[in-house]
Amino acid sequence: MLSAVVLMELTVSADDISLRKIYELAFRQYQEDNLLIVPNEEDWLLASKILFLLTHGRRGAQKGKLQRLPAGASQRLALDVLIAVSARRWKTQMVTDNWADFKAIQRYCNTTVIRASQFFRR
Determine the residue type at 75: Q
- 24-77, pLDDT tens digit by residue? 999 999 999 999 999 999 999 999 999 999 988 776 666 667 677 677 778 899
| 3-state SS record for 66-122 | CCCCCCCHHHHHHHHHHHHHHHHHHCCCEEECCHHHHHHHHCCCCCCEEEHHHHCCC
- The answer to whether residues 63 and 100 belong to one domain is yes
- The answer to whether residues 73 and 23 belong to one domain is no
Residue 36: the pLDDT is 97
- Is residue 98 within 8 Å of residue 106, measured between CB atoms? no
- Is residue 40 within 8 Å of residue 87, measured between CB atoms? no
- The answer to whether residues 34 and 46 belong to one domain is no
- The answer to whether residues 54 and 86 belong to one domain is yes
Boundaries of domain holding 32: 1-38
- The answer to whether residues 72 and 113 belong to one domain is yes
- The answer to whether residues 49 and 80 belong to one domain is yes
- The answer to whether residues 74 and 17 belong to one domain is no
Domains in the chain, number: 2
